[in-house]
Chain A
Amino acid sequence: MSKVAGIHNKSPETYPQAPTKSNVLQTLRGVNASAPITGSFASILSPFISFIPSMAGAYATVMVSGIIQSPSPDGEMTLRIVLDPSGSDIVELTSIFEVQAASTPVPFSMVVETASLGAIAPQSIDVQAKTTSGSGTATAADISVVVIVTSA
């Protein structure tokens, strides 16, 4: 069959559409065996996730899981996912988990998608924790984080 001008990609029978292009720009990961939790927010990653999106207007889906254990005293722990922790410090999500020494370690997980990351520029994502009361200590462990960067 001869080709017909002007119908490129327009006739599904004779000109199948081009394969769908993935909008996943990149994936990033991090793991950390253990991190202390105190009365002030501090990173439980080491190091935090850094990347430069390959196009403007990208989004980042952040997923983190792990456990919290050994509270002293028992109490609530506050975890948060932070965009640009060394700069504008945008808190994307905050969650509170109760941890009791009598029933630890406690699993936790969080997932959030950022708003558009804007222009092409270095980005960083951190997961931070503190004791909600602002005193005492605990330990986060077996922390795993995955970030999926997608275009709009």
Chain B
Amino acid sequence: MKIAGLKGRSPETYPSHRASGLVYTNSEVYTDPVSLTTTPANLFGAGSFAASPGDRVIVMYSGVISASSGSILVAISVVLDDATTLYTYEFEVAASNLPLPFSLVFETPAALAATPDPHAITILGSTVSGTATVAANGSIVLISTPS
């Protein structure tokens, strides 16, 4: 069923922009723990964040990761349209030094392409090797600047 005014948006998975002048902000807090394995997991459950073609998007994320046992290397990535990894950084979580707060800031390298509309931005986390860890209390703020 088509709903007028919702073109290109799925409110369940793409929270609406909040307009502020020519800049749009989008934010979400996800308090549930997310188990991390070698298979990348969405740090916001099934949710992605919408961005419009032509926008440049600044992604700011903060969260906490703890390791259940031993030290483990984790990777956090900013992914576009479930296909293109824009940015990844890896760091070590030591069981003797947990929980570990971390944050990242990243801007898309160019104005987003004309398709798809909207684009979907996702934050994924994974372990570089076996042992599961847990990420929790994730918070994201996106600032979209139309070109």
Contacts and interface: CB of A to CB of B under 8 A. Distances in A.
B21 A24 contact: yes
A31 B73 CA distance: 21
Interface residues on B, range: 20 to 34
Contacts of A103: 71, 92, 94, 96-97
Nearest to B56: A27
Interface stretch (A38-46, A73-81, A82-90, A141-149): A141-149
A146 B22 contact: no
Contact of B21 (A21, A65, A67): A21
Contact of A65 (B22, B89, B94): B89
Contacts of B145: 24, 27
B109 A24 contact: no
Contacts of A27: 56, 58, 107, 143, 145
B129 interface: no
Interface string B39-51: 0000000000000
Interface of A: 19-24, 27-29, 31, 63-67, 102-107, 109, 111, 141-142, 144-146, 148
24 contacts: A20-B20, A20-B21, A21-B22, A22-B23, A27-B58, A29-B106, A63-B105, A64-B105, A65-B104, A67-B90, A102-B94, A103-B71, A103-B94, A106-B92, A107-B91, A107-B100, A107-B102, A107-B103, A141-B89, A144-B87, A144-B105, A144-B106, A144-B107, A145-B105
